[in-house]
Amino acid sequence: MNKLKSLVAVFCIVFSISASAQTGTSSPYSRFGLGDLQGNIFPAYNALGGGVTALSSSSSVNPSNPASYTSFKANSFLFSTGGLHKTTSIQNSTDKQIANNSAFSHLTIAFPISRKLGASIGMLPYSNIGYTLNARDENANADMIYSGDGGISKVYFGGAYEPFKGFSVGVNASYLFGGLNRRKNLNFDDASYFDARSNSKINLKGYYYELGIMYKKELANEKEITFGLTANNNSTIRAKRTNIVETLSGTSSIVKDTALSSVEWGDINLPQYISAGIGYRDGEKWLLVADYSMQNWADYSLLGVGDNLQNSMRLSGGLQYTPEFNSVTKYYKRMQYRLGAAYSNTPLMLNDTQLKEMSVSFGFGIPVRKSRTKYDVSFTLGQRGTTDNNLIKEQFIRFGLSVSYDGIWFVKRKYD
């Protein structure tokens, strides 16, 4: 019971920290839509390229497909949390800069309810905004500065049911909340002119649901093949936009006048998403996964206005190798070695060019049996965008680390 109280306390602390601030990106592309979408950011799954729709395990949580929650062992209690660090090289045809960002990645708790029922609760980042862009208006002799910050978080509760052996269905009920700030500053060289600034802040909160299906077919000699499918319908999230436009004294930046102050209420339309995956497992030695997903971002709108986004597509896959999972003498043989890759057409369409993202990844899992703990490490090297057509190319290295604990709960003591 004391352990449970401690985990609940940690959950509340991380919830408060994540809700107050997110600094997961410095990408200029995060100014579009809802910002940089985080997708699947568990370090263990990042190392597999993010191909997890058909992945289930008795010792790890996979919120990407809630149907996987039926795989937990009896009386187990899974807890996992972690973080990410990303170093990005941002360049156009003339300039280049380096940005570093660190952020919380996830916090999840999961447990079986009965032999056929499982559940999970957790918190994940959904999207981040973080950018600063400078431009020069030579006609007005003024500098224009565009900047943004903020992020959206997701709290989910999911359950799964296995009506017959090998087939399970699950659902996540997710609550989105957070704020996105987009600012503009106009600074004149002539101090006798009034500068100007504006801030558009979006606050949103609302529920949406994700459905998952998984089917496992046992083959000969401990081999197994798994098919997975996840989807959600178009979802409507309540949003409030606050707009403020002010003029400033050119010398002291004191507010001289408020030209506009307005509040608008409306909805954000989250587009339909679907993902299909296949997995193959050869005992505890080999695991291969592959995913195909797409999302109709052309249907996205904020307060009735779209953002010229396009439908996205993603292909991903990976493999995991464990030399000898129950080795007693060789620790390195019990480790899990992972390799993956991903390719996607992102929702961003700029200058008649739909941006693409490509990445390769690798990592490993380090089990510590004595404490029933596992450490997962991942490294991802990727690229998004291009310097053609006056666009920006981003090359990044992302490091992820998570700590997972597999406890035994709800078992009565035999001795005091």
**Quick one: pLDDT at residue 5?**
46
DSSP assignment, residue 71?
Answer: G
**Joined tokens for residue 199:** 């801030």
**Quick one: pLDDT at residue 406?**
87
Q: Where are the domains of the chain?
A: 2-408
The dihedrals phi and psi of 32, each to the nearest 5 degrees, come to: -100, 150
DSSP assignment, residue 60?
Answer: S
**Quick one: pLDDT at residue 414?**
52
The Cα 148–Cα 245 span in angstroms is 15
Task: Classify 19 as helix, strand or coil.
Answer: helix
Q: How many CB atoms lie within 10 A of CB 96?
A: 11
The Cα 191–Cα 197 span in angstroms is 15
**Quick one: pLDDT at residue 404?**
92
The Cα 367–Cα 374 span in angstroms is 4
**Quick one: pLDDT at residue 100?**
92
What's the chain's Rg over C-alpha atoms?
A: 24
Give 378's strand partners.
363, 400
**Quick one: pLDDT at residue 220?**
87
The Cα 31–Cα 26 span in angstroms is 10
Walk along the chain (416 residues) and give the pLDDT tens digit of each residue.
444 444 444 444 444 444 444 567 889 999 899 999 887 778 899 999 999 999 998 888 999 999 999 999 888 899 999 999 999 999 988 888 999 998 888 999 999 999 999 999 999 999 999 998 888 888 878 888 999 999 999 999 999 999 999 999 999 999 999 999 999 988 888 877 888 889 999 999 999 999 999 999 999 888 999 999 999 988 899 999 999 998 887 666 677 777 788 899 999 998 999 999 999 999 889 999 999 999 999 999 988 888 889 999 999 999 999 998 887 778 888 899 999 999 999 999 998 899 999 999 999 999 987 778 899 999 999 999 998 888 999 999 999 999 999 877 655 555 54
Topology (CATH level 3) of domain 2-408: Porin (2.40.160)
* Residues 27 and 132: beta-carbon distance below 8 Å: no
* Residues 335 and 344: beta-carbon distance below 8 Å: no
**Quick one: pLDDT at residue 17?**
47
* Residues 160 and 168: beta-carbon distance below 8 Å: yes
* Residues 284 and 276: beta-carbon distance below 8 Å: no
The dihedrals phi and psi of 205, each to the nearest 5 degrees, come to: -160, 140
Q: How many CB atoms lie within 10 A of CB 195?
A: 19
Q: Which of 355, 284, 279 is nearest to 314 (CA)?
A: 355
DSSP assignment, residue 371?
Answer: G
